[in-house]
Amino acid sequence: MGRVEGKVALVTGGSHGLGKAMAVLLAKEGAKVVITDIKDEEGEATAKEIGDAIYLHHDVAKEEEWEAVVAKTLDQFGRLDVLVNNAGVAMESKPEETSLEKWRWLMSINLDGVFLGTKHAILAMKKNNPSKGSIINLSSIEGLIGDPMLSCYNASKGGVRLYTKAVALYCAKNGLGIRVNSVHPGYIWTPMVEKLMADTVGIEEGRKQLAALHPIGDVGEPNDIAYGVLYLASDESKFVTGSELVIDGGYTAQ
């Protein structure tokens, strides 16, 4: 207990799934948590479940909403120590059939959202005395390897990976005390994935198929990723920046 005691953490897409697991664990380990999402009912419920947390409506593709969310965080808690850029979307698509509108929609959330969050988190973290913080960007195994039906998603998550490294170097070389790292989950058993399996091949068969993709023999759980985020949020990772934390049951080792 207390691995992030006294820190203020902002988690986007924090109302459910991976984001909820991260928010709950960070709060359990002592952080004051700001949950943002566009799913207001679920977000409010998660904040209430945590207790020492607030929920804010937030479209990560809009800069004015980032400005408002960060300002509210500073008003409420006086500082920002951790940003988890978790909000994201995915879609299957054939490259020659993908519309520019769909491409831009996905990029606006997965890539623009990370850019905007990182920008405004740095501005806030520079106000800490001393300047300090941890920015954690959720990429994916799909930011490391290609998938024939996920080209747009691959591009966005690959962009998150290299953007993270560049900003990590910028912060380090300018002595800002802000660490920036990316997390790359494999297939994780979330309510969304469970529903997808239920609607297609069935829950039992779906889990079996996904488990077979990972050498470790099972699908990941939300807390598998949340514990990685907790490590990067804590001072235990003070020597870690510009890194890729791959949590994928051996998927990309094949």
Residues 6+ apart with CB under 8 A from 118: 83, 85, 135, 137, 163, 167, 180
Residue with tokens 């609607």: 199
In this structure, is the dihedral angle defined by the CA atoms of residues 90, 91, 93 and 95, taken in order, positive or negative? Answer: negative
Q: At what angle do helices 100-107 and 151-173 cross, to 10 degrees?
A: 40
The SS3 call for residue 43 is helix
Set 153, 187, 231, 251: catalytic member: 153
- Measure CA of the first residue to CA of the last residue in the chain; give whole Å: 35
Q: At what angle do helices 191-199 and 203-212 cross, to 10 degrees?
A: 110
Active site residue 170: no
Torsions phi, psi for 155 (to 5 deg): -60, -40
Other CB atoms within a 10 A radius of the CB of residue 164 amount to 26
**Residue 57 β-bridge partners:** 37
Q: Contact 55/40 with Cβ under 8 angstroms?
A: yes
How far CA 169 is from CA of 12, 176, 181, in Å, comes to 23, 10, 11
The catalytic site residues sit at: 153
